[in-house]
Amino acid sequence: MTTPAVIIHGGFFSELTTSQETKTAKQNALRHIIRQTWAFLQTHSALETTIFACTLLEDDPLFNAGTGSQIQSDGVIRMSASICDGESQKFSGVINIENVKNPILVAEKLLSREDRILAGEGALNFAREQGFGPFDTRTELRIQDYEQKKSELVKTGTVGCVALDHQGRLAASTSTGGKGFEIVGRVSDSATVAGNYANAFCGVSTTGVGEDIVNGAVAAKIVTRVTDGMSLQQAVDKTFKELLPFDGFAGIIAIDHQGNMMQKDSHPNIVYAMKNAGTEEIFG
């Protein structure tokens, strides 16, 4: 039996002005969610657990995923989410899906399909076929952000979870409302292997500027390096060093097959929480 571990993140701060009140509220939300997720992991697989955690994070309007997602330049919310099951080595995701409550649950339905990443209208049609009804994920705060049109500010919230279960299986899930005010059609990293990846050796979920994360192939590189024998610390450090030439803006959470948990960010302040049998820590 493996000693299980779980780590979640609520992205970088994505509000136009981040107050101490918001910061505390996010930390409290993460504390609540990591405890629920930890309890869930005791009787569920890593895969089920990461999906469970992302659903809770998507439902909390404090975070930029599901309810509370950022609004794109044309006033519409389009969300992206993906799941990577380290055991079966299957990846599924939705890109730029509109008007559903939990994009991560639509991605889950795709795990068992041959076509596993769907975008835009196709993703929405699939969701409706699967019984996901219409849901408006706008919140007052995001509408205010949008109306102020402060697109020059970094808006990089995303949510994610990586888990290692009692059987030693790893999984990673990530969900985002994007960076806010993006050109219609822009594709986030969150439903790519740069933003979310896992295999039998390591799982990684990222947050940050999607373009930088894709440029650095961040999650896939870290997982590959651990698979090839590097320690998690070395793999993360090397991958972040490779972001420096273009000032890549990224943050990650990761767990390896030995239960080592890690977080790293290139810029302040990713909010995250980690838990195993011995520790519970909330940061950000």
158 is catalytic: yes
Instruction: Tokens 């995303």: give the residue.
Output: 158
Catalytic residue among 37, 55, 67, 158: 158
Q: Using the minimum distance from each CB to ligand GLY, give the nearer residue, 179 or 225.
A: 179
In angstroms, give the least distance from the CB of 187 to ligand GLY: 8
Q: Which residues of the chain form contacts with ligand GLY (CB under 6 A)?
A: 156, 158, 176, 178-179, 188-190, 207-210
Alpha-carbon distance 132 to 33, whole Å?
23
Give 58 or 189: the residue with its C-beta nearer to ligand GLY.
189
Phi first, then psi: what are they for 248, rounded to 5°?
-60, 135
Task: Tell me, rounded to whole angstroms, the distance of Cα 128 from its chain centroid.
Answer: 23
Output 165 or 265, the one with its CB closest to ligand GLY. 265
The span from the CA of 220 to the CA of 75, in Å, is: 32
SS3 content of the chain, % helix, strand, coil (to 5): 35, 25, 45
> Quick check: bond before 99 cis, omega within 30?
no
In the bound state with ligand GLY, the residue whose beta carbon lies nearer, of 21 and 152, is 152
CB of 39 to ligand GLY, least distance (A): 28
Residue nearest to ligand GLY (CB): 210
Angle between the N-to-C axes of helices 232-241 and 218-227, in degrees from 0 to 180, rounded to the nearest 10? 140
Q: What's the closest the beta carbon of residue 207 comes to ligand GLY, in angstroms?
A: 6
d(CA 102, CA 197): 20
Tokens of 206: 């990222």
CB 280 to ligand GLY: min, Å: 26
- Cite the active site residues: 158
